[in-house]
Chain A
Amino acid sequence: MTKDMSAETLLSVNSLSLEVAHTGLEVVKGISFDIAPGEIFGIVGESGSGKTLATRALISLLPPAIKVTGGSVRYKGRDVLKMKDRELRHLRGGEIGVVFQEPMTSLNPSMTIGRQLEEGLVLHTKLSPQERRDRILDMLKRVGIREPEGALAAYPHEFSGGMRQRIMLASVMLLKPALLIADEPTTALDAVIQRDVMELMVELTRAEGTAVLLISHDLPMVARYTSRIVVMEKGSIVEQGRTEDLLDAPQHDYTRKLLSSLPFRGEARSLDTSKAPMVSARNIVVDYAGRKSLLKKAKPKRALHGISIDIHEGEVVALVGGSGSGKTTLGRTIAGLVKESEGDIRFQGRSRDDDWRDYRLNCQMVFQDPYSSLDPRMTILALVEEALRLVPDLDAQAKRKRALETLEEVGLNADYASRYPHELSGGQRQRVAIARAIARRPRFLIADEPVSALDVTVRAQVLDLFSDLQKRYGFSCLFISHDLGVVEQVADRVVVMQDGRIIEEGDRDAIFDNPKQAYTRRLLSAIPALGHNERGGVTLKWRLENDA
């Protein structure tokens, strides 16, 4: 109670502890922090750090299974956890607004946008219907909705994810709260849109003098906008301080680990590209049949407009672009999962279609989602062994030996062989997926967003593993990713796609240091250039700040 309760503190959290009611598992362990009015404050942590639950407690909106076991949350000096229902309802929305991660499910699908926005105003203000309408239209305009009048009568499903997140932001900021809690507000959005939404949020809150509590796993993004940061690990705050100090000279091991897990630029390799390419795709066109409907004519949608791409022996080519750019379709087409409408794909000089068996033996794929890419009813060993099923000249014993060796190589010892996928963590599963792909010693590997579902520190480990294996076996790789940071670390060459076309390609350093296309620059503006210092800290330099 010695805390200074002066006007400088808007929200004060004091040794807050939470646990799961039935199991007694402590998920948040005595955390404390203060937020000043108008400040942008960040909480950074990986999944399981307790950051989301901790912030739910700030407005006393915990899931029924979670109980507060100690501590206090004071908003303008009043203890939130002891508030009566009526007082709480006034606090929620009126004083503290919340924006959630998932814009696709955060708006009520059966209620018009107008009614959803109005609801809060009816509750928290005494405005007349006409005043409410004006205020809503004004706010919708400010968040960049083009036809605000039309939007009032529209339902959420008529808007894209980015637009919905803007509407969410509008619905919260309409009430001019003193504090905005933003829980991973841009994680579900496309890389290019992420930044727009963040900038909009900062602009709106600054104009209203609203403080922001920004919660994310993305340390550089949080660092970019906040003045102070808290780092959480396994329910505890391990470090907090001014953003610059924390980045420059981290005190705690975990913070250092987080910072060193951020992708950095690997050394440029010189590869022999004079020989014929390992994989060569020419003029690939893919049309998707339009959705069948009885009354609408099905218009085929062209996903790829005549793409040509070469991948040389031992080369890692990164395919980057936003969602809908066609990068995943191209990868799946080369893998033979999508049939091209036109074009020619050659492998080691021969047409892929001439010898599918050879191609299947030599071309493997790692998928994005380690939860969906492993058959849940098979053991780890069986999963890897299955990859060897069609390999000639290996007897059953040799196959088992190879499978176990490969698991060992990806860092999973024999203990894991008999386990099932659901008993493994996300990172371990992705290791299994990699083991399955390399067990055949393929010459060519397609990796579709292989690390984007993983936590920061796990991501770094899997990327290291990937690079090691690539060096050891020298396979060529098509590396598909929306995350340019990751690409910067592993790629030799970068191909940028937009709307089913290649708009720019070149050596990694050339693309990252000297991008020609505006779209590439926009993509790059979402990630910082990192420099490491001897204190275990980093310097963040945001690229091309002015171009984007």
Chain B
Amino acid sequence: MLAEWKAAFNRGETMLRFILSRLLMALPTIVLVSITVFALIRFIPGDPAALMLGDMAQPDQIAAMRTELGLDKSMPQQFVIWAGNVLHGDFGRSIVNDEAVLPLVVSRFMVSAEIVVIAVLLASLIAVPAGVIAAWRQNSITDLALVGTATVLLSIPTFWLGLLLLLLFGLKLGWLPVLGYVSIGDNVVGGLLYLVLPVMTLVIHEAGVLIRMARASTLEVLRLDYITHARAKGLSESAVLWRHAFKNAFGPTWTMIGLILGNLLGGIAVIETVFTIPGLGRLMVDSIFARDYPVIQGCLLFVSLSYVLVNLVVDLLYPLFDPRVVAE
């Protein structure tokens, strides 16, 4: 019994070290991402103070903004001032309507996140088992059909797929609403109805990606010795597949799910455009049109930091599927 306690303690310690090291490793990335976002806006030709205020700004406003941004100081000092503001939650104000950027970005982010999280969850639930089965039946008709379908699905651009679904279910059949958006918070049934098409579009596309990923990583695992050994022990095929192969094969797919989730959080501008959803991607695009630089900056920073965060969480949960990563 004592030995088990001791082993458990040691394992706890290495786990703690693993968590801390991953957290520490994320820090430089966060700093560099912030510097990149800061630098990107500084690269735009013209006076940053004027950019931040738009075309309608008065000279005295610009002068005030110059001092606020610390433009008379060196670049590193300017970055420190900016980063300090950001840490206090001050992302600046929109040029277009003078709204504070952070609350605007957060509220739009929630809209996108709702769609993306549901879609990725559904896509994983469908695609991962399908991929595992395709791998198990490698080169059979089932496998060929699944891989073929997946390849076709992932080749269809989401905005076009969305358009087609809209045309079919919204305009031709009239089953689902076409334009606009209702928050689930305000109206559960109505909100869900508006979610169906965008979620369906994303699920169809991402399922294609995930089926292939799950199949490839399962194939890798299925040819390893311990699978043969499990069979040689007398285990049934389903025990071999789900108990031995699945958990080990899920690691790479799990990372992929994290990447997809993060990618979509920043990249569903096209979907939001097709279905006129007021999400973060649409905000970003509109701001680029309007040259609303404070909002662009805020979106970039917020999304890239949440992407880092999502991947960090994915990393931290990885030992559930492969305990070896803890020991490095």
One of A152-160, A306-314, A520-528 at the interface: A152-160
Contact B244 A111 (CB under 8 A): yes
B6 nearest CB across to chain A (Å): 6
A524 nearest CB across to chain B (Å): 31
Contact A100 B21 (CB under 8 A): no
Contact B234 A124 (CB under 8 A): yes
User: Does chain B have a CB within 8 A of A397?
Assistant: no
| Interface residues on chain B, size class | 35 or more
A172 nearest CB across to chain B (Å): 8
User: Does chain A have a CB within 8 A of B236?
Assistant: yes
B231 / chain A contacts, CB cutoff of 8 Å: 61, 92
B244 nearest CB across to chain A (Å): 5
B236 / chain A contacts, CB cutoff of 8 Å: 85, 89
A185 nearest CB across to chain B (Å): 13
User: Does chain A have a CB within 8 A of B247?
Assistant: yes
Residues 144-181 of chain A, each 1 if its beta carbon lies under 8 Å from chain B, else 0 = 00011110111101100000000010010000000000
A152 / chain B contacts, CB cutoff of 8 Å: 4
User: Does chain A have a CB within 8 A of B42?
Assistant: no
Contact B322 A93 (CB under 8 A): no
Q: How far is the CA of A178 from the CA of B278 in the complex (A)?
A: 70
User: Does chain A have a CB within 8 A of B118?
Assistant: no
User: Does chain B have a CB within 8 A of A533?
Assistant: no
Q: How far is the CA of A183 from the CA of B24 in the complex (A)?
A: 45
Contact B232 A109 (CB under 8 A): no
B237 nearest CB across to chain A (Å): 8
Contact A123 B235 (CB under 8 A): yes
User: Does chain B have a CB within 8 A of A294?
Assistant: yes
B226 / chain A contacts, CB cutoff of 8 Å: 105-109
User: Does chain B have a CB within 8 A of A405?
Assistant: no
B210 nearest CB across to chain A (Å): 20
By beta carbon, the residue of chain B nearest A147 is: B3
Residues 410-432 of chain A, each 1 if its beta carbon lies under 8 Å from chain B, else 0 = 00000000000000000000000
Query: B290-323: which have CB < 8 Å to A?
Result: 321-323
Residues 68-90 of chain A, each 1 if its beta carbon lies under 8 Å from chain B, else 0 = 00000000000000000100111
Q: How far is the CA of A152 from the CA of B11 in the complex (A)?
A: 13
B227 nearest CB across to chain A (Å): 8
Contact B233 A108 (CB under 8 A): no
Contact B234 A93 (CB under 8 A): yes
Contact B327 A157 (CB under 8 A): yes
User: Does chain B have a CB within 8 A of A297?
Assistant: no
User: Does chain B have a CB within 8 A of A336?
Assistant: no
User: Does chain B have a CB within 8 A of A110?
Assistant: yes
B245 nearest CB across to chain A (Å): 9
Residues 233-258 of chain B, each 1 if its beta carbon lies under 8 Å from chain A, else 0 = 11110000001100110000000000
A531 nearest CB across to chain B (Å): 38
User: Does chain A have a CB within 8 A of B117?
Assistant: no
User: Does chain B have a CB within 8 A of A293?
Assistant: yes
A85 / chain B contacts, CB cutoff of 8 Å: 236
Contact A93 B232 (CB under 8 A): yes
Contact A155 B233 (CB under 8 A): no
Query: B1-58: which have CB < 8 Å to A?
Result: 1-4, 6-8, 11, 17, 20-21, 24-25
Contact A295 B17 (CB under 8 A): yes
User: Does chain B have a CB within 8 A of A59?
Assistant: yes
Q: How far is the CA of A291 from the CA of B17 in the complex (A)?
A: 15
Instruction: Given A109-B324, A157-B327, answer yes or no on A100-B225 (Cβ-Cβ < 8 Å).
Output: yes
Instruction: Given A109-B248, A157-B324, answer yes or no on A100-B229 (Cβ-Cβ < 8 Å).
Output: yes
Q: Tell which of A106, A108, A124, A291 has the most Cβ of chain B within 10 Å.
A: A108
B225 / chain A contacts, CB cutoff of 8 Å: 100, 102, 105-106
A154 / chain B contacts, CB cutoff of 8 Å: 7
By beta carbon, the residue of chain B nearest A158 is: B327
Q: How far is the CA of A90 from the CA of B244 in the complex (A)?
A: 19
Q: How far is the CA of A297 from the CA of B312 in the complex (A)?
A: 23
User: Does chain B have a CB within 8 A of A119?
Assistant: yes
Contact B323 A157 (CB under 8 A): yes
B158 nearest CB across to chain A (Å): 34
B21 / chain A contacts, CB cutoff of 8 Å: 293-295
Contact B322 A109 (CB under 8 A): yes
A131 nearest CB across to chain B (Å): 18
Instruction: Given A98-B229, A98-B232, A294-B24, answer yes or no on A149-B3 (Cβ-Cβ < 8 Å).
Output: yes
A158 / chain B contacts, CB cutoff of 8 Å: 327
B225 nearest CB across to chain A (Å): 4
Partner of A110, one of B7, B8, B248: B248
Contact A153 B4 (CB under 8 A): yes
User: Does chain A have a CB within 8 A of B173?
Assistant: no
B111 / chain A contacts, CB cutoff of 8 Å: none
Q: How far is the CA of A148 from the CA of B231 in the complex (A)?
A: 25
User: Does chain B have a CB within 8 A of A120?
Assistant: yes
Partner of A92, one of B6, B8, B234, B244: B234
Partner of A150, one of B6, B321, B323, B327: B6
By beta carbon, the residue of chain B nearest A94 is: B234
Q: Tell which of A64, A98, A291 has the most Cβ of chain B within 10 Å.
A: A98
User: Does chain A have a CB within 8 A of B85?
Assistant: no
User: Does chain A have a CB within 8 A of B100?
Assistant: no
User: Does chain A have a CB within 8 A of B228?
Assistant: yes
Q: How far is the CA of A61 from the CA of B324 in the complex (A)?
A: 29
Partner of B232, one of A61, A90, A147: A61
Q: How far is the CA of A155 from the CA of B322 in the complex (A)?
A: 10
Instruction: Given A105-B224, A119-B233, answer yes or no on A153-B8 (Cβ-Cβ < 8 Å).
Output: yes
A105 / chain B contacts, CB cutoff of 8 Å: 224-226
Q: How far is the CA of A152 from the CA of B1 in the complex (A)?
A: 11
User: Does chain A have a CB within 8 A of B126?
Assistant: no
Contact B233 A92 (CB under 8 A): yes
Q: How far is the CA of A106 from the CA of B227 in the complex (A)?
A: 8
User: Does chain B have a CB within 8 A of A43?
Assistant: no
Query: B125-172: which have CB < 8 Å to A?
Result: 138
Contact A123 B248 (CB under 8 A): no
B238 nearest CB across to chain A (Å): 11
B4 / chain A contacts, CB cutoff of 8 Å: 149-150, 152-153
By beta carbon, the residue of chain B nearest A120 is: B233
B98 / chain A contacts, CB cutoff of 8 Å: none
A90 / chain B contacts, CB cutoff of 8 Å: 234
Q: How far is the CA of A351 from the CA of B187 in the complex (A)?
A: 85
A296 / chain B contacts, CB cutoff of 8 Å: 17
Q: How far is the CA of A204 from the CA of B233 in the complex (A)?
A: 18
A259 nearest CB across to chain B (Å): 31
User: Does chain B have a CB within 8 A of A91?
Assistant: yes
A-B contact pairs, 13 of them (CB 8 A): A61-B231, A93-B233, A100-B229, A105-B224, A106-B225, A107-B229, A110-B322, A120-B234, A149-B2, A149-B7, A155-B323, A157-B324, A294-B24
With A85-B236, A149-B3, A296-B17 already in contact, 5 other A-B pairs whose C-beta atoms are closer than 8 Å: A97-B232, A105-B226, A109-B323, A119-B230, A124-B234
Closest 4 CB pairs of A and B: A93-B234, A150-B3, A150-B7, A93-B233
